[in-house]
Chains A and B, each alone.
Chain A
Amino acid sequence: EAGVTQSPTHLIKTRGQQATLRCSPISGHTSVYWYQQALGLGLQFLLWYDEGEERNRGNFPPRFSGRQFPNYSSELNVNALELEDSALYLCASSLGSSAGLEQFFGPGTRLTVL
């Protein structure tokens, strides 16, 4: 069975542009989480989607947004890119929305903002 997939693997943008990152969860998983790992920093929670709705967001500005589609795949959009948005963006999925379910991680998208 396929794991969590993310695309693209790498993305290079310039400051002020918009970036779109995509995530496909494991089949049957309804929850998708987005995390950011900036260089030298730990992983930080960005967004959580379940059943098509945003359930929670981390301490990030509104230019970080996303959505979840009816097939449970998800997009993360970052508008007005800043240099400090350069990071590894990881997506994870879980079987449902209950706290404490195991999360399975994708390989990540490495975003570089020049």
Chain B
Amino acid sequence: KNEVEQSPQNLTAQEGEFITINCSYSVGISALHWLQQHPGGGIVSLFMLSSGKKKHGRLIATINIQEKHSSLHITASHPRDSAVYICAVATRTASKLTFGTGTRLQVTL
């Protein structure tokens, strides 16, 4: 079993839909990251959180430390949101990130 599990693996949505991507992890963490990877490979850090909730524009990330679970929500999705979304965790003892396998999101008109 991977230390970081994401679901779903693939997600297709119509423009305007509310999207949720889930991440579960099995290790103690110091922080959880949500990353966005567009075709071509470049990675952008969306959020880093260790508790509670963060919001940036149409993106919202939540984390429940007790349940070892995080969600990334996209409100009013748009085709430019199409990308791979990756959850990654930093454990309490190591700065290196352990990654989920990613969720490929396609938003259509």
Residue among A55, A58, A99, A103 making CB contact with B33, cutoff 8 Å: A103
Residue among A92, A97, A100, A103 making CB contact with B50, cutoff 8 Å: A100
B31 at the interface (CB under 8 A from A): yes
| Smallest Cβ-Cβ distance to B35: which chain A residue | A105
Residue of B41, B92, B100 contacting most chain A CB atoms (<10 Å): B41
When distances are taken between beta carbons in the complex, the residues of chain A under 8 Å from B50 are: 100
Complex alpha-carbon distance, A56 and B99, angstroms? 16
A56 and B102: CB pair below 8 A?
Answer: no
Residue among B33, B35, B41, B96 making CB contact with A48, cutoff 8 Å: B96
Distance of B58 from chain A, by nearest CB (Å): 21
Q: Assuming A42-B100, A43-B88, A100-B30, is B95 touching A105 (CB within 8 A)?
A: no
A45 and B96: CB pair below 8 A?
Answer: yes
Q: Assuming A42-B102, A99-B30, A100-B50, is B94 touching A56 (CB within 8 A)?
A: yes
B95 and A98: CB pair below 8 A?
Answer: yes
Distance of A51 from chain B, by nearest CB (Å): 13
Majority SS of interface residues in chain B?
strand
Majority SS of interface residues in chain A?
strand
Distance of A34 from chain B, by nearest CB (Å): 10
Distance of B100 from chain A, by nearest CB (Å): 7
| Smallest Cβ-Cβ distance to A101: which chain B residue | B95
Per-residue interface assignment for chain B, residues 87 to 109, with 1 indicating a CB less than 8 Å from any chain A CB and 0 otherwise: 01011111111111110000000
A107 at the interface (CB under 8 A from B): yes
Residue positions of A touching B, CB distance < 8 A: 31, 33, 35, 37, 42-45, 48, 50, 55-56, 58, 88, 90, 92, 94, 97-105, 107-108, 110
Closest 6 pairs between A and B when the two form their complex, measured CB to CB: A100-B30, A100-B31, A105-B43, A43-B99, A45-B96, A99-B30
Write 16 A-B pairs (CB below 8 A) sorted by A numbering. Answer: A42-B86, A43-B99, A55-B95, A90-B41, A92-B97, A94-B95, A99-B31, A99-B93, A100-B48, A100-B95, A101-B90, A102-B33, A103-B45, A104-B45, A105-B35, A108-B43
Residue positions of B touching A, CB distance < 8 A: 29-31, 33, 35, 41-45, 48, 50, 86, 88, 90-102
